[in-house]
Amino acid sequence: MTLNPGFAQGPQAWCAAPDHRAVTGLDLLQRHIVFLPGAAFGEDVDQQRLKAIEGLGSYVKNDVRVRDAVLEALVNDSNPGLRTQALHLLEPVRADSSVRVVLQKLAENDQNLYIRTQARNVLSQMSEID
């Protein structure tokens, strides 16, 4: 395990991430930090965070920490674009129990009509497959 200097000291400081980009993306997503290598000068935080969550897509299936961070963004983030992207990233792991629970809650009572409708759509696709 290696210490990632991007994380604050504490239990989350130790990680076994195979790729520093996933750790940087998680850090950016979770902490709203304005740091993304290669980000255009003057890009706002929301644009950087959208890029970060897009970059995490390939890690959602295999890394529970990434999946949890994306679920957290889906449930609690104030940016509707980021929440929409999070919802789409979770579709390949929609059968995961933690993802299903979140989707059910969002389908029932999310304030954002698009998120609520999309959560219902994903859940209905799951029942068609079963």
CA distance 4 to 24: 9
Task: Report the half-sphere exposure of 38 (CA within 13 A, side-chain side).
Answer: 6
Q: In the chain, pLDDT over 70 holds for what percent of residues?
A: 64
State pLDDT tens for residues 30-41: 554 444 455 555
- What pLDDT, in 10s, does the model give residues 115-130? 999 999 999 987 655 4
In angstroms, rounded to a whole number, what is the distance separating the alpha carbons of residues 52 and 22?
9
In angstroms, the CA 23 to CA 25 distance is 5
Q: pLDDT value at position 15?
A: 39
pTM: 0.68
How high is the pLDDT of residue 50? 86
Among 23, 21, 16, smallest CA distance to 38 is for 21
Q: How far apart are CA 40 and CA 2, in angstroms?
A: 29
The residue extents of the domains of the chain are 2-129
Write out pLDDT tens, residues 50-71. 888 888 888 999 999 899 999 9
